[in-house]
């Protein structure tokens, strides 16, 4: 299987997250949000990446994407974010870094885990108490699913959405689900069943993301310590 430097391979679904520099607000009015959505629509026409879910927030951005080429997602993200920075600087006479840096991604197993992440993305504004209902947030894909004309063409999800999807998205997610999703995208760790996570991390070069952080724990077993103390200096 071909690899990329960021472990992004066509055909997989990815949860993408990018935050503003210093978590400062970068979308100030409806025009800012609409302008960013229009950039996503333009990128969609030129770069083969399926958009499965989106939520544009005041200081960050979530999306679930499925690239059709190994370098498609990186090209898509680079164009959207750099184009947005130019527009923002022109409108507000600012300069310097707007986004924190490189975006983060987490590859998703295409089963119930994908539905969990889609739901997380589409209820993000509700979770942040920016909207009374998830579908009321104008700059999210749940709202667009209910429109006669969507500003962005949403791709068919590999796992069919339940018939009660809107109500399901509005239901609270468990603390464990939230922790798992945030940890996965924060460390760029695959999200799915344990065996799938280990296999996919190895195949895509994300092994570092599933290893514990920090120094390995020291072995304080008395027998081991005694054996180490009796070894000749040259064998320690």
Q: Would you say the C-alpha torsion 133, 154, 148, 84 has a positive or negative sign? A: positive
pLDDT of residue 62: 98
| The model scores a pTM over 0.75 | yes
Q: Rounded distance, CA 149 to CA 161, Å?
A: 19
Indicate whether 7 belongs to any domain.
no
- Over the stretch 174-192, which tens digit does the pLDDT of each residue have? 999 999 999 999 999 999 9
Which is higher by pLDDT, 212 or 142? 142
Given pLDDT bands bounded at 50, 70 and 90, which one contains residue 7? confident
pLDDT of residue 24: 96
- Over the stretch 56-107, which tens digit does the pLDDT of each residue have? 999 999 999 999 999 999 999 999 999 999 999 999 999 999 999 889 999 9
Closest CA to 209 of 183, 179, 181: 183
CATH number of the domain at 166, please. 3.30.70.1290
Indicate whether 1 belongs to any domain.
no
Entry field: residues in the chain:
236
The pLDDT of residue 114 is above 90 = yes
Indicate whether 189 belongs to any domain.
yes
Rounded to 5 degrees, what are φ and ψ at 170? -75, -15
pLDDT of residue 49: 97
Indicate whether 21 belongs to any domain.
yes
How much is the average pLDDT of 205-224?
60
Which is higher by pLDDT, 203 or 116? 116
How much is the average pLDDT of 126-142?
98
Q: Which domain holds residue 147?
A: 13-235
Closest CA to 118 of 184, 68, 176, 64: 64
Least confident of 20-34, 153-167, 193-207, 216-230: 216-230
Could you tell me the strand order of the sheet in which 60-67 lies?
A: 49-56, 60-67, 13-19, 104-108
Indicate whether 61 belongs to any domain.
yes
Beta-carbon count within 10 A of 59 CB: 15
Indicate whether 2 belongs to any domain.
no
The pLDDT of residue 153 is above 50 = yes
pLDDT of residue 232: 40
Rounded to 5 degrees, what are φ and ψ at 131? -150, 145
Counting the structural domains of the chain, the total is 1
Q: Rounded distance, CA 88 to CA 121, Å?
A: 24
pLDDT of residue 213: 56
- Average pLDDT taken over every residue of the chain: 89
Indicate whether 6 belongs to any domain.
no
Indicate whether 97 belongs to any domain.
yes
The pLDDT of residue 150 is above 70 = yes
């Amino acid at each position: 299987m071909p690899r990329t430097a960021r472990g992004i391979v066509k055909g997989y679904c990815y949860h993408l997250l990018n935050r503003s520099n210093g978590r400062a607000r970068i979308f100030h009015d409806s025009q800012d949000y609409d302008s960013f959505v229009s950039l996503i629509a333009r990128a969609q026409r030129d770069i083969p990446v399926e958009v499965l879910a989106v939520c544009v927030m005041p200081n960050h951005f979530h999306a679930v994407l499925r690239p059709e080429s190994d370098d498609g997602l990186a090209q898509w993200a680079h164009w959207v974010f750099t184009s947005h920075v130019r527009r923002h600087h022109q409108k507000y006479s600012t300069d310097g870094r707007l986004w924190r840096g490189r975006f983060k991604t987490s590859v998703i197993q295409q089963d119930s885990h994908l539905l969990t992440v889609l739901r997380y993305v589409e209820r993000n504004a509700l979770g942040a108490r920016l909207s009374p209902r998830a579908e009321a947030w104008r700059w999210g894909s749940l709202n667009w699913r209910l429109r006669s004309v969507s500003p962005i063409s949403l791709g068919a999800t590999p796992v069919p959405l339940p018939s009660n999807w809107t109500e399901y998205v509005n239901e609270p997610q468990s603390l464990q689900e939230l922790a798992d999703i945030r940890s996965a995208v924060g460390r760029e760790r695959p999200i799915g069943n344990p065996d799938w996570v280990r296999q996919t991390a190895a195949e895509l070069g994300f092994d570092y993301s599933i290893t514990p952080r920090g120094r390995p724990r020291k072995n304080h077993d008395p027998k081991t310590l005694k054996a180490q103390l009796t070894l000749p200096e040259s064998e320690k």
